[in-house]
Amino acid sequence: MSGQAFALKTCTLQVNLFSGARTALPNSADALLTIRDGNQQPVLLPHNGYLDESSAAISGLPFHGDFGDNYAVVASADGYEQAGFYPVTLSPTGPNIVDIMLLGKNAGFSFAKWGQLKSDHPTYANLLAAGAADDTAASVRYGDLMDTKDKVLASYFNLVTAMSQIQLPVKTPLDYIKELIWDNTMAQDRFFAWADPAVIDQIILATAHGQFAPEIGTAAFHSGATRSWKQIQFGEANVQLTFHENDRKPINGLNCVMIEPDIDYYRDLAAHALLEVVANKLTGSLTDPRQVYVLRWIAGRHAGVPNFEPPYTIE
């Protein structure tokens, strides 16, 4: 059926704005929406796109019946970082919903305290504590990260939270990681750790089921690496699992392999071009865990999977 047959049909898009606390954006933010259809045509919005509430139903959006229905939605507000999502594929029958998170430009990380982390997220806490002399030493080490390397800690939480939501044929990738490598390789965009090598076979099986795709030329992007796979579930903020199979460490009788998890911003280059929410992405700067937090949260909401809720907020 041709696109002309749909010319008179329209769609309604529900836009919900949230803050870095994962709660509704304050109405006082006076957010501005910009919407373009898949033909790169701007949509004329009521009140020039300004919203006086955190949620708005935008009606009368044209339905094309083709790629023109892949809309890009961008939100901005004074004092907040711009964010958006693409593609939001609209249909006259809906539901057409997009949730967008805006971070305050001066917002900071608010991490769970050590005791709370052990209670609410024992797996994350146990991995942070692995190799420490006792709980006091682990608590001190955790406090040092919060005080001096908050982006490193945020990146850690982004990665372990995302990995805990990836269901392999048996367990999750996080379940196979035994101990972190505490040195200067622990950065705001990745960490290195020792893992049960059985995870590699699990990822190969998951790849056969369409969950991952192998990276070609791994060593060119990850020095010393032997193999790497990237999650392909979302358009944004997918986990990449890279292995350094020549680096080994025995832990409790298990010959563990070095694993290097990280998260990229976008899978789709068109999304980068349309949204333009990530500054200096191609300049060689390190991935910002704040942006990963936003992108992964938005992607999860759009995909209808369990919410991405690492044990920190940005507020």
Residue 7 pLDDT exceeds 70: no
Q: Is the dihedral of CA 107, 109, 113, 116 positive or negative?
A: positive
Cα distance between residue 207 and residue 211, in whole Å? 5
Same domain, 271 and 152: yes
Same domain, 126 and 94: no
Residue 84 pLDDT exceeds 80: yes
Same domain, 92 and 217: no
Same domain, 10 and 36: yes
Q: Give the end of a domain, one of 102, 132, 167.
A: 102
Same domain, 82 and 157: no
Average pLDDT of span 91-112:
96
Cα distance between residue 122 and residue 114, in whole Å? 10
Give the pLDDT confidence score for residue 219 in this predicted structure: 87
pLDDT tens-digit readout, 161-189: 999 999 999 999 999 999 999 999 999 99
CATH number at residue 29: 2.60.40
Q: Give the end of a domain, one of 49, 84, 102.
A: 102
Same domain, 11 and 116: no
Average pLDDT of span 203-225:
93
Same domain, 257 and 126: yes
Same domain, 117 and 70: no
Q: Give the end of a domain, one of 102, 129, 144.
A: 102
Q: Answer yes or no: pTM beyond 0.85.
A: yes
Give the pLDDT confidence score for residue 268 in this predicted structure: 62
Give the pLDDT confidence score for residue 271 in this predicted structure: 59
Same domain, 164 and 50: no
Domain count, the chain: 2
Range of the domain at 34: 3-102
Same domain, 143 and 85: no
Give the pLDDT confidence score for residue 264 in this predicted structure: 83
Same domain, 30 and 179: no
Give the pLDDT confidence score for residue 100 in this predicted structure: 98
Residue 281 pLDDT exceeds 50: no
Same domain, 185 and 236: yes
Q: Which of 233, 237, 244 is nearest to 200 (CA)?
A: 244
What is the SS3 assignment for 309?
Answer: coil
pLDDT tens-digit readout, 49-66: 999 999 999 999 999 999
Q: Which of 169, 13, 211, 154 is nearest to 96 (CA)?
A: 13
